[in-house]
Amino acid sequence: MPAGEPGVAGRFDVATPLDGSDPHRMVFVFHAGAACAFLPRELARLHAIGLGLEEEEALAPWGIDAATDGLYAHRVTPREAMWLAADNLNALFWGLHDWTHFHNHGPFEQRAWTELQCDASALAWLWMNREEVGLEPTVWDRLHAQATALSRRRFEDEGLPGAFGVLEAARVRELARAC
Ligand SMILES: [Zn+2]
């Protein structure tokens, strides 16, 4: 579906490919009254179209790093501040990936390794919650293969040997079971 077009009302789109492009129709919506005035904000409905959002505010899409720093500095957990709105699988994957960044403040020096842990967390969450999300195991497998390919490319770009055992499907499912 082209960027910015509303999804089919009430239907979660699992067909969106994970190709590394920016996710569309995904936003972190602030809870009413959450103590997070330090975070950059925009109207949620500008970024998550057709999800019934009205006057709710959300983290500005360019503010992911600011949120990772700000939440840590103010000792606010992501869950206290916001919830994730997404109407398609690509958006949900990247939202979960970013959510993991929010929980892991620190120097962003080993990019490929940091991103790998975020990917593993997102895949594990999606496996755990596949029934709620309406994700067939075959769709999860496809997503897993796409995420692994992206991860492999990051390691190649950094000239690092990949250690994709961490991201093997069986290991990710094991991680999900351990939660
Ligand atoms: Zn990331």
Please state the domain extents for the chain: 1-88, 107-179
- Ligand 1 centre to CA of 99 (Å) is 9
Least confident of 8-12, 49-53, 134-138: 8-12
Range 159-162 contact pairs with CB under 8 angstroms and sequence separation of 24 or more: 160/112, 162/112
How far apart are the CA of 116 and the centre of ligand 1, in A?
A: 8
Instruction: Give residue 134 CA to ligand 1 midpoint distance, Å.
Output: 24
pTM, two decimal places: 0.90
The lowest-confidence range among 10-14, 129-133, 134-138, 161-165 is 161-165
pLDDT bin (cut points 50, 70, 90) of residue 1 is very low
Q: Both ends of the chain: CA-CA distance in Å?
A: 34
Pick the range with the lowest mean pLDDT from 78-92, 96-110, 132-146: 96-110
Q: In the beta sheet, which residues pair with residue 42?
A: 58
Distance CA 164, CA 79 (A): 29
Q: Is the pLDDT of residue 110 over 90?
A: no
pLDDT at position 3: 38
Decide if 123 contacts 145 (C-beta within 8 A): no
Give the pLDDT score at 179: 85
Cα–Cα distance, 21 to 85 (Å, whole number): 18
Alpha carbon distance 65, 90 (integer Å): 20
Contacts of 81 (CB under 8 A, 6+ apart): 28, 30, 31, 34, 35, 36, 39, 71
pLDDT at 112: 92
Cα of 153 vs centre of ligand 1, distance in Å, is 14
Query: Residues with Cβ < 8 Å from 125, sequence gap 6 or more?
Result: 96, 176
Interval 153-178: pLDDT, tens: 999 999 998 777 889 999 999 999 99
Which pLDDT score, from 0 to 100, does residue 124 have? 97
Residue 26 CA to ligand 1 center (angstroms) comes to 15
